[in-house]
């Protein structure tokens, strides 16, 4: 790949400078005067070019920085996918407003760890009985966790603090809070709740931050104890305390009576502020390994992502050639990549979102917990109706490559992209025009469940649309 000649760069700058002038000339048509109208004629045209070729191949994902709110538990073995197992560790964020009025260690009735998930976030057979063991961490987790993290040495394997047996179709539904939410409940030692109340009353400063609380209670390790054939995506882990208080009240007759009030309170939970990690083990089916040597695949977690080459200099050349002798404006640049499901035993689907990021910046993007800047990094959601991913906003990338002075090595680097399955968190707000706007708040590697797809790069379409305007005097 060669850099643009200096003459072309000068032309590009001229096009970019004259583009606003082009729009100004067009607006002059609203002038009521006809004087001189016969001296100037405009010729406008819209050009669409989608003749560019996208090439790429599968690359192994490698270890993942797997900090996430989605916790994965269970194991499956699926034909044409492979075998996947996962357990997880998590710190907990303590409640900052726990009301201890009338509450003592003696009034704590019970304590439970609640693993909450949606019924449609299961891969495998929901009818199969499975079990989990819960262990208390004995020391604080390291700051940087990856998918290969081994919890050995962070807990006592001979002393689980709780165990639970469950099947997803028979679980308690948390209908009072969220319809469709189910819960795996693991009873914790009563002494944990009593110690929580005692310490909260005597040392409240330990409950002001996750770091301080971790010095008191480092967290939990949750592991599959028996059963196979299902992986469950836990979207929230919380500790719920059941307790009571004894009080006196005056009834309508003026009589004082003793009464007992019972409470249920969330005293700690996994939140974005704490460390959470899925400890993943994945063995790829030989079928996928063979397919990956020939085609571009997406397999997660810990499987394959794809690396593609975007012929950006060819795109720029198309624009400059098409606008010689005229003024040009880049309207849009989009990339559409068809994808199809790979037949498997568990109905594993393509990733919900893909990140498009220069391969040289991939690791940095996740390590620094970046969000797409829509200049060199972009997000596309899977369009299940049409079986494709569409990156519609690549124009800023093209303008960036046109305007900056890059040597050949840097241009090559910025045209080689990774397509990475990711999890996307969003928030919505209402703007000043009373429109609902959705913004991306977090992007992380896809580690919330099995996923896979075949990318049809031979049918991928990189489409450039630009306008030309020639002014004749």
Place of tokens 């000043």: 432
Reported as a pLDDT band with limits 50, 70 and 90, residue 140 is very high
Residues 30-44 pLDDT 10s? 444 444 444 455 678
What's the CA gap between 43 and 471, in Å, rounded? Answer: 7
What's the CA gap between 204 and 199, in Å, rounded? Answer: 7
pLDDT-wise least confident of 63-67, 203-207, 277-281? 63-67
Place of tokens 């008191």: 216
pLDDT of 27: 39
Measured in degrees and rounded to the nearest 5, phi and psi for residue 94 equal: -75, 155
Comparing 344 with 358, the larger pLDDT belongs to 358
Helix (H, G, I), strand (E, B) or coil at 418: strand
pLDDT of 469: 86
What's the CA gap between 172 and 116, in Å, rounded? Answer: 10
pLDDT of 250: 76
- Distinct helix (H) and strand (E) counts, the chain: 8, 26
**How is residue 164 written in tokens?**
């639970």
pLDDT of 457: 97
278 strand-pairing partners: 88
What's the CA gap between 195 and 173, in Å, rounded? Answer: 29
Beta strand spans in 161-251 (E): 162-166, 172-173, 181-188, 220-226, 230-234, 236-250
Cβ-Cβ contacts under 8 Å for 335 (sequence gap 6 or more): 54, 310, 356, 390, 391, 394, 460, 461, 462, 463
Comparing 27 with 443, the larger pLDDT belongs to 443
Beta strand spans in 236-326 (E): 236-250, 256-269, 276-284, 296-300, 304-309
> Residue 237 pLDDT > 90, yes or no?
yes
Cβ-Cβ contacts under 8 Å for 338 (sequence gap 6 or more): 387, 388, 455, 456, 459, 460
Nearest to 312 by CA among 19, 71, 54, 20: 54
Helix (H, G, I), strand (E, B) or coil at 40: coil
What percent of the chain stands above pLDDT 90?
A: 64
By CB atoms closer than 10 A (0-12, 13-18, 19+), residue 209 is middle
What's the CA gap between 77 and 196, in Å, rounded? Answer: 40
What's the CA gap between 110 and 100, in Å, rounded? Answer: 16
Comparing 101 with 49, the larger pLDDT belongs to 49
Looking at every residue in the chain, the average pLDDT score rounds to 87
252 vs 257, 258, 260, CA distance in Å? 11, 14, 18
Sign, CA torsion 22/24/29/35: negative
Helix (H, G, I), strand (E, B) or coil at 69: coil
What is the DSSP-derived secondary structure letter of residue 420?
E
Q: At what angle do helices 395-403 and 6-27 cross, to 10 degrees?
A: 130
220 vs 90, 127, 141, 152, CA distance in Å? 6, 27, 10, 13
Q: What share of the chain is helix, strand, coil (3-state, %, to 5)?
A: 20, 45, 35
**How is residue 461 written in tokens?**
């379409």
What's the CA gap between 363 and 418, in Å, rounded? Answer: 10
Q: How many CA atoms lie within 13 A of 293 on its CB side?
A: 4
Summarize the confidence of residues 372-390 as an average pLDDT: 97
In the chain, what are the domain boundaries?
Answer: 6-21+39-61+284-472, 71-274
Residues 272-330 pLDDT 10s? 889 999 999 999 999 999 999 999 999 999 999 999 999 999 999 999 999 888 889 99
Tell if the pTM clears 0.75, that is, is over it: yes
Burial 230-248 (b: 16+ CB within 10 A, else e): bbbbbbbbbbbbebebeee
Q: For residue 66, give the H/E element and its range.
A: none
């Amino acid at each position: 790949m060669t850099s643009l000649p200096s003459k072309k760069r000068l032309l590009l700058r001229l096009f970019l400078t004259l583009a606003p002038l082009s729009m100004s000339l067009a607006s002059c048509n609203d002038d009521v005067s006809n004087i001189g109208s016969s001296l100037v004629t405009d010729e406008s045209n819209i050009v669409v070019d989608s003749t560019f070729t996208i090439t790429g191949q599968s690359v192994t994902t490698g270890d993942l920085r797997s900090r996430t709110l989605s916790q994965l538990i269970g194991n499956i073995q699926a034909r044409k996918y492979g075998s996947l197992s996962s357990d997880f560790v998590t710190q907990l964020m303590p409640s900052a407003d726990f009301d201890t009025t009338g509450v003592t260690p003696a009034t704590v009735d019970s304590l439970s760890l609640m693993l909450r998930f949606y019924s449609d976030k299961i891969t495998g057979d929901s009818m199969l009985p499975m079990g989990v063991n819960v262990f208390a961490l004995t020391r604080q987790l390291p700051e940087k966790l990856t998918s290969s993290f081994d919890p050995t040495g962070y807990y006592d394997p001979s002393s689980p603090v709780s165990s639970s047996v469950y099947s997803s179709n028979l679980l308690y539904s948390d209908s009072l809070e969220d319809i469709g939410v189910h819960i795996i409940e693991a009873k914790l030692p009563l002494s944990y709740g009593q110690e929580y109340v005692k310490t909260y009353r005597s040392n409240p400063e330990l409950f002001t931050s996750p770091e301080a609380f971790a010095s008191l209670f480092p967290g939990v390790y949750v592991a599959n104890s028996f059963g196979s054939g299902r992986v469950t995506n836990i979207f929230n882990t919380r500790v719920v305390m059941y307790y009571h208080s004894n009080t006196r009240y005056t009834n309508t007759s003026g009589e004082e009576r003793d009464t007992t009030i019972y409470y249920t309170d969330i005293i700690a939970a996994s939140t974005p502020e704490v460390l959470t990690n899925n400890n993943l083990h994945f063995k790829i089916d030989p079928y996928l390994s063979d397919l990956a040597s020939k085609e571009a695949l997406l397999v997660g977690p810990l499987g394959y992502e794809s690396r593609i080459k975007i012929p950006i200099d060819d795109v720029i050349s198309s624009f400059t050639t098409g606008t010689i002798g005229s003024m040009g404006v880049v309207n849009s640049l989009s990339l559409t990549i068809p994808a199809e499901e790979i037949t498997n035993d568990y109905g594993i689907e393509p990733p919900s979102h893909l990140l498009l990021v220069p391969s040289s910046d991939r690791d940095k993007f996740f390590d620094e917990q970046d969000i797409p800047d829509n200049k060199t990094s972009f997000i596309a959601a899977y369009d299940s109706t049409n079986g494709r991913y569409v990156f519609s906003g690549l124009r800023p990338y093209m303008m960036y490559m046109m305007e900056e002075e890059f040597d050949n090595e840097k241009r090559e680097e910025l045209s080689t992209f990774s397509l990475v399955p990711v999890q996307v968190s969003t928030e919505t707000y209402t703007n000043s025009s009373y429109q609902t706007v959705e913004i991306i708040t977090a992007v992380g590697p896809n580690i919330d469940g099995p996923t896979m797809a075949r990318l049809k790069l031979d049918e991928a379409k990189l489409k450039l649309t630009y306008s030309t305007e020639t002014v004749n005097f």
